[in-house]
Amino acid sequence: MESLAKISNKGQYVIVDVLGEHRLAKRLAEMGVAPNGVLTVITVSKNESGMVIYLRGQRLAVSYSMAQSIMVKGINEKDNEKLVSLSRVKVGNSGIVNKIIGNKALRKRLMDMGLTKNTVIKIHQIAPLGDPIELIVRNYKLSIRRNEADFVLVSEMEVAE
């Protein structure tokens, strides 16, 4: 995890946290910069100049000072993360979809519901008997069966709330 200002490579990153004063965090949230969001760095910051990012279908110019308060993690970073089944992620935790296994019909059904590679998923709640599991995917709630969640492999991530 590092600040967006220190990023030296273009690519996709997951927003982990937004630091700084309340007004700045609120302004960034209005622009769509919030934890669990995925952004793409188009141009990197050189000599404390601003940078250009792609977020929610828009190109945004971000100043160096603003980029310092956005903490991100590379989507493809492999800091010894192991893949776990979505059904094993605890309530309140988040993960990034890495792979969907199973037969073709099941994979297609899950992808049609929005569970595609590099999508951030948060476990919202689990039913009292453990089935179904309610997820937050792309800002909507989705319920899937535990046996379907077994086929979704995610890399868990820590997100500050």
Spatial separation of the C-alpha atoms in residues 99 and 82, rounded to whole Å: 12
Asked if residue 145 and residue 89 are part of one domain, the reply reads yes
Looking at residue 148, its pLDDT comes to 92
Same domain, 89 and 153: yes
Over 90: is that where the pLDDT of 141 sits?
Answer: yes
Let me know whether 62 and 98 are in one domain: no
Residue 18: its H or E element? strand 11-18
Number of structural domains (the chain) is: 2
- Determine contact, residues 67/49, Cβ cutoff 8 Å: no
Mean pLDDT, residues 10-36:
85
Long-range contacts of 112-117 (CB under 8 A, 24+ apart): 113/137, 113/142, 113/144, 114/138, 114/140, 114/142, 115/152
Q: Averaged over 93-110, what is the pLDDT?
A: 90
One domain for residues 90 and 57: no
Examine the pLDDT at 80 and tell me if it is beyond 70.
no
The pTM (predicted TM-score) of the whole model is 0.62
Residue with structure tokens 């037969």? 103
- In angstroms, the first-to-last Cα distance of the chain is 15
Mean pLDDT of the chain, nearest integer: 86
Question: Which of 55, 74, 93 is the last residue in one of the domains?
Answer: 74
pLDDT band of 49, cuts 50, 70, 90: confident
Average pLDDT over residues 77-104: 83
* Same domain flag for 68 and 134: no
CB-neighbour burial class of residue 67 (10 A; exposed 0-12, middle 13-18, buried 19+): buried
* pLDDT tens digits along 53-68: 998 888 988 888 888 8
Q: What is the mean pLDDT of residues 21-39?
A: 85
- What number is the average pLDDT over the span 73-83? 69
The average pLDDT across 119-145 equals 91
| Boundaries of domain holding 69 | 2-74
